[in-house]
Amino acid sequence: MIPRTIFEPEHEQFRESVRKFFESHAVPYHAQWEKDGQIDRALWNKAGEMGFLAPSVPEEYGGMGLDYLYNTVMDEEMAKLGLSGPGFHLQNDITVPYLVKHASEAQKQKYLPKCLSGEMIVAIAMTEPGTGSDLQGVKTTAIADGDEYVINGSKTFITNGQQADLVIVVCKTDPNAGAKGISLLLVEAGTPGFEKGSNLEKIGLKAQDTSELFFQDVRVPKENMLGEEGMGFVYLMQDLPQERLTIAVMATAGMEATLQQTVDYVKERKAFGQPIANFQNTQFKLAQMDAEITAMRVFVDRCIELHVQGKLDAVTASKAKMLASDLQNKVIDECLQLHGGYGYMWEYPVARAFADARIQRIFGGTNEVMKIIISRELLAD
């Protein structure tokens, strides 16, 4: 076994309290939340009270100013427990970091304390019905009119969309300027003309709410611009590596947990008068998975370490996202097979893991888009 070296004792203490928190406040309720299509909103407030939301927010805004390893601990514990419902990773690793990096002082004072307490859930809306991979092709417009922008368009597949109180909307402030015309605007729930569609029905992530969002002549003050006008695409390119690393982190922790569950299962389950662990096929499958996961763990940990040092480049983050999510899907499929028919039953964690893992190769940029990013660098002059 290769010991993990990236965490300090304080990260491990944090891990212990995170795990206890989720074991008592989320695990017993998750099956019901899957039926509801969303988690209990109160979990956000409870997590906020414990300091589990956006641990990286600087102390001056009420946060703890902690490093990304604390986010990693949260993501790993949730993945290991199969808690795919709470979209905390989106708040902690993606949306709040946008506010920390690019918001004005007034926006930070207004929003960050509420993000920390769980009073405010922040979603990010890039994808549109007609545009996902090709971000530059977004059609939602935000046209300046006096002191305001007027937003028109629609978004889809937005995580935490039903429960969101604030949405970072990717839109074109100059529809003729391509990527340079893209900006990020903050739109609060309840703003006239901003409507949430129905909670979309998915094959996995059953307890996570995912929505369409509609904007019809939505007027927001110009102060709602996040960062500079026309810089939206640059900000997205800068911040997507952390999103991609988070996917790799959750994939790796998730498959480690599923492998362990499978090891336990094959020792118990009998066929032809003996535990299925006795069959060489089972042993070889487990050995292969264990070896591949070990290699992935070392790679992903090194990426985390580089990221904490501010040295993880976008291409390496894309490699981590692609390889970890591909391996996660392969491993979970094999683990399900080793569970036989029980693996197909929703009550078994491996069944849920199978359904939840599929999206990992699609969101955060599809794995084909990751290959475009990697090969572009490889072939550059």
Ligand X SMILES: Cc1cc2nc3c(=O)[nH]c(=O)nc-3n(C[C@H](O)[C@H](O)[C@H](O)COP(=O)(O)OP(=O)(O)OC[C@H]3O[C@@H](n4cnc5c(N)ncnc54)[C@H](O)[C@@H]3O)c2cc1C
Active site members: 243
- Residue number closest to ligand X, CB atom: 132
Terminal alpha carbon distance of the chain:
40
To the nearest whole angstrom, how small is the minimum distance from the Cβ of residue 213 to ligand X? 10
Helical packing angle, 280-308 and 232-268, nearest 10°: 150
- Of 106 and 378, nearer to ligand X (C-beta) is 378
Q: Which positions lie near ligand X, rule CB under 6 A?
A: 123-127, 132-133, 157-159, 202, 205, 210, 359, 362-363, 365-366, 368-369, 372
- Of 169 and 266, nearer to ligand X (C-beta) is 169
Burial class of residue 254 in the structure, from the number of CB atoms within 10 Å of its CB (0-12 exposed, 13-18 middle, 19+ buried): buried
Strands 148-159 and 122-125: unpaired
Of 143, 129, 138, the C-alpha closest to 213 is 129
To the nearest whole angstrom, how small is the minimum distance from the Cβ of residue 232 to ligand X? 12
Torsion of the alpha carbons at 177, 153, 99 and 239, rounded to the nearest 10 = -60
- Of 231 and 308, nearer to ligand X (C-beta) is 231
- Of 127 and 252, nearer to ligand X (C-beta) is 127
To the nearest whole angstrom, how small is the minimum distance from the Cβ of residue 263 to ligand X? 29
Of 257, 367, 264, 261, the C-alpha closest to 323 is 367
Q: Can you give 232-268 as a three-state secondary structure string?
A: HHHHHHHHHHHHHHHHHHHHHHHHHHHHHHHHHHHHH
Give the gyration radius of the chain's Cα atoms. 21
- Of 120 and 359, nearer to ligand X (C-beta) is 359
To the nearest whole angstrom, how small is the minimum distance from the Cβ of residue 369 to ligand X? 6
Q: Can you give 342-353 as a three-state secondary structure string?
A: HHHCCCCHHHHH
To the nearest whole angstrom, how small is the minimum distance from the Cβ of residue 131 to ligand X? 6
**Distance of alpha carbon 98 from alpha carbon 111, whole angstroms:** 12
